[in-house]
Structure formats: C-alpha cells, structure tokens
A = this chain, B = another copy of it.
C-alpha cells in the first residue's frame, strides 16, 4: 500500500532529495510542508504515514527546533534515520557558460559553504541571497539574466537548468545531513538497531555519570550524547543519548528498567535500524 511521507518543502530542497532517497524501492507519495513543526503535527494526527525531518548539520532546517520538538509533547516516535551527503551544484540556464555568469543566487549558508569555489572560479560574480536553494534555482530559471544558482541536482531537473559543476562545497566533502524518519510508532527490532533517549537530570556533579553507568554496565555503547539546558528551568539539564540496541533487546530493556528503579526520568524517543546512507 502506498504510504504518504511528509518532508520540508518546497520540492528540490535537500530534504526533498532525502525523502526521494528514502522512497526508492518503496511505494511512497511525497507531501511537502512549510515547517518542521507541521511535519511533527501531521505525523502525530496521521495526516501522513511518516515524516522526514533534518536534525543535524542541515542547510534548511534547524537542529535546535527538531530537538525541541522531540523533547515536547507531540506524539511521534523516531522510526529511522538517514545520513545524506549534501552536494552543492552550480546550476545555470541552458547556454550560459561559467565565464558569462555575473550573479550567483543561493541560501546564504550555501553561499558560505561554497565560498572558496566562488572566490576561485567566479571572483567577479555577485552573491545574491535567496530564501532556499530551490528558490535560487527558480529565480535563475525565471529571470535568465546571467545568473547561476547553487542548489541540488534535483533542483536542476525541476527547473530545467544545466549542471555546470557538481560538488562545489569547500572542504573534504563531508557535508552530511542527518534526517530522522518520524511515525506514530517506532520500528521493530532488526538486530542492528539503535535507540534515542531523552534523560532529564538534576544539575549536580555525578548525575550524568551515574546515569551513564547503567548503560556502561550493560555493555551498551553510546553513539551520541548532547546536553541542553531545560528552558525556563535552570536547575535541570536534558540529555539526548543514542545507544546501540533496540529497546526490546534484553540488555537495553534491563538498563531502561534500572533507570526507572533509580528514578531517572527517561523518555524513549524511538528504536530504529542504524543509518541508511543515501547517495
């Protein structure tokens, strides 16, 4: 049966690429949303079967916002994750060559991530900000005024632009974005899973150490930890933890039981198979 997957639009964004990647070999219908919060809400009230949201190192979404929403009361679980490489491309209307480009449109962060390329190859082109990489591609296609865009390969297809150069971001090309798949229920155990947890702890020496001891003693590895102060409650901290294993696996189930016995406040955000890489 075809499932509906919500993503952060408009079409052509890197979130759209991630959603398309997820849908490869699956029967999916994609539905764009204007905000990450709307994707959480649509998933909780089952307007969509699942939603995909950026959570780390993204251009278009806010990591902080996604974490805040996960910590809140919207009834969704994490059902999966994807790690996607962000490949910035230089796009131009057919016929425009690199030497004819006078302006480069993109989201300011994409312009910043391609700064070295632009300085070297297009030192005279004026950078012009757009609200998204897709919007940059759209403007370049509409105006056709010697402007190029920095956007995804997908955006080139959508707006009939030529890809003049691929992978133009600075650095060793490690520009990955992590996306989470949200659904009303998390995933079944596969044998190679991880579980995301939210711990609320008092702000005192040793509180985190004691909590982590429970996981260490059960030989569970942490793959991520991040502390955040609780809004409006300065005496407490919350921690996002990713641990190896499914919440129904014996060792993790025992560890979670032990946190309960020790009155440590844990919210299970979801168990799901470890990252799929999208290309």
- Which partner residue on chain B sits nearest A218 by CB separation? B205
Out of B115, B129, B212, which one reaches A212, CB within 8 Å? B212
Q: How many copies does the complex hold?
A: 2
Out of B132, B205, B216, which one reaches A206, CB within 8 Å? B216
Out of B62, B111, B216, B227, which one reaches A222, CB within 8 Å? B227
Known contacts A131-B108, A174-B231; A205/B221 CB under 8 A: yes
Interfacial chain B residues near A216, Cβ < 8 Å? 205-206, 209-210
- Which partner residue on chain B sits nearest A59 by CB separation? B108
Residue pair A129, B115 in contact (C-beta under 8 Å) = no
How big is chain A's contact interface, by range? 35 or more
Interfacial chain B residues near A64, Cβ < 8 Å? 57
Residues in A45-84 with C-beta less than 8 Å from chain B: 57, 62, 64
Interface string of A208-228 (1 = CB under 8 A from B): 111011011001111111110
- Which partner residue on chain B sits nearest A111 by CB separation? B131
Bound Cα distance from A221 to B232, whole angstroms:
20
Q: Tell me, yes or no, whether A107 is within 8 Å of chain B by CB.
A: yes
Interfacial chain B residues near A227, Cβ < 8 Å? 222-226
Bound Cα distance from A129 to B135, whole angstroms:
10
Bound Cα distance from A205 to B215, whole angstroms:
8
Bound Cα distance from A104 to B94, whole angstroms:
32
Quote the shortest CB–CB distance from A159 to chain B (angstroms).
17
Interfacial chain B residues near A232, Cβ < 8 Å? 172, 174
Q: Tell me, yes or no, whether A35 is within 8 Å of chain B by CB.
A: yes
Out of B129, B215, B224, which one reaches A130, CB within 8 Å? B129
Residue pair A209, B206 in contact (C-beta under 8 Å) = no
Bound Cα distance from A174 to B68, whole angstroms:
12
Quote the shortest CB–CB distance from A129 to chain B (angstroms).
4
Give 5 nearest A-B pairs by CB, closest first. Answer: A209-B216, A129-B129, A206-B216, A205-B221, A129-B131
